[in-house]
Amino acid sequence: EVASGDALVTALIGAVHDTILAHRDELCDLDRAIGDADHGHNMARGFEAVAAASDEIAALPFGKALQKIGTTLVMKVGGASGPLYGSALMAAGKAGEDAPTSLVEVVARLEAAVDAVKQRGKSDVGAKTMLDVLVPVTEALKAGPADPLATARGTAAEALEATRPMVATKGRAAFLGERSAGHLDPGARSSELIIDAVCDVVEG
């Protein structure tokens, strides 16, 4: 059973913050190969600010809390990932005030988040971005799997690996053209890390 209200938000912020800090260098290394080597630092700066405001955020209703996390990321992260994750969380937060109590409600928030990233990034699946993890996970959960946590984790891991051969057509990596192939997308890796962290919290 999932913790409700402020305990859930506090746990989610803590888990995502921890995993981003633990993988900060790895995210920078991935971005060094096909970008500008700052993805770990960008994400860490954003989630440091979110963690610093954790008590204040956790006092808000669930939907408002997600929106506040989103606006914090937009304000604090310099790179492309800030506005993209920020828009995703703002849209997910606007999908309803109360914490989700069913998989259907989780999927509705994920769909809102994905649509926001597509719009803000003028992007879609296949461009070698975070969407190449976020969209397959959303689709897999939409099918109503028997074990949503295992499905989310497994789909995210496979989808991340599937970004390796892709040629980037959005973001900095697109400047490399064909040379972007052969590397994981850093934003796809951070999305996978966030999904895993959320699953850990939900699993308890």
Binding site for ligand ADP (CB under 6 A): 31, 35-36, 38-39, 42, 79-81, 84, 117, 121, 123, 129-131, 170-172, 185-188
Contacts for 42 with CB less than 8 Å, ≥ 6 apart? 77, 78, 79, 81, 82
Q: Which does 131 bind (CB under 5 to 8 A by kind): Mg ion, ligand ADP, none?
A: ligand ADP
Kindly tell me which of 109 and 170 has the beta carbon lying closer to ligand ADP. Answer: 170
Kindly tell me which of 10 and 72 has the beta carbon lying closer to ligand ADP. Answer: 72
In Å, how far are 9, 61, 133, 185 from 4, measured between CA atoms? 8, 10, 27, 33
Q: Where do contacts with Mg ion occur on this chain (CB under 5 A)?
A: 31, 35-36, 38-39, 79
Q: How far is the CB of 38 from Mg ion (least distance, A)?
A: 4
Q: Which does 81 bind (CB under 5 to 8 A by kind): ligand ADP, Mg ion, none?
A: ligand ADP
Q: How far is the CB of 76 from ligand ADP (least distance, A)?
A: 12
Q: How far is the CB of 28 from ligand ADP (least distance, A)?
A: 9
d(CA 198, CA 26): 20
Q: Which does 24 bind (CB under 5 to 8 A by kind): ligand ADP, Mg ion, none?
A: none
Q: What are 150-157's contacts with CB under 8 Å, separation 24+?
A: 152/195, 152/199, 153/195, 153/196, 153/199, 156/191, 156/192, 156/195, 156/196, 157/192
Backbone φ and ψ of 40, nearest 5°: -65, -45
Nearest residue to ligand ADP by CB is 187
